[in-house]
Amino acid sequence: MALPDIKTILYATSLGKHTRPVFRQAVKQAMQNDAKIVMLHVVEPMGEMGHALIQNYVSEDLIKQMHDEGIKEIHKNMQERIEKFCADEMQSLENPVVLNVEHKVAEGNHTDSILDAAQAVNADMIVMGAENRFGHHSHTSQQVMRHAKIPVLVVPTGKEFD
């Protein structure tokens, strides 16, 4: 049986301060396998209670506009992080490497959104951090590992790993 090819890596990120080691591993895997990285950030949708409260103060059009602007800002943040990583870590390499990174934002349950995105982009591997943005072991990473049908690389994300 042949070893599976890794051509697409889904990198799930919380966009937290200490997620660079996770991206570093995704980049390493991508370089070793000549693979594309799909960078995914999942946001929880606004709950019914929050939506009902906001509706009392602003129109639906303004809520949609704020939502769309927030998603654009997340995409901008993702692009800036990739550019900073390349400037900080890729410039020193002997042979220049051009990363093939696509970014996506999904709304919904974190585990379901990661698994759905992996299937949608036909990912061969998922790379994600071991801790959530509060520094606790991530329930999401445990659930993704349990339910994924492809390999999941879980990377420690504490400060000592920067």
Residue 12: is it exposed, middle or buried by C-beta count within 10 angstroms (0-12/13-18/19+)? buried
19-31 average pLDDT score: 91
Q: What is the pTM of this model?
A: 0.86
| Mean pLDDT score of the chain | 86
Judge whether 58 and 92 are in contact, CB under 8 Å.
no
CATH class of 8-45+74-161: alpha beta
Residue 120 or residue 138, greater confidence: 120
Distances (CA, A) of 107 to 40, 51, 55, 112: 10, 15, 20, 10
Per the model's pLDDT, the better-predicted residue between 135 and 146 turns out to be 146
pLDDT band at residue 106 using 50, 70 and 90 as cut-offs: very high
Residues 63-85 pLDDT 10s: 889 889 999 999 999 999 998 88
Nearest to 147 by CA among 120, 95, 123, 112: 112
Confidence grade of residue 40 (pLDDT, cut at 50, 70, 90): very high
Work out the average pLDDT over 153-162.
71
3-class SS of residue 43: strand
Domain ranges of the chain: 8-45+74-161
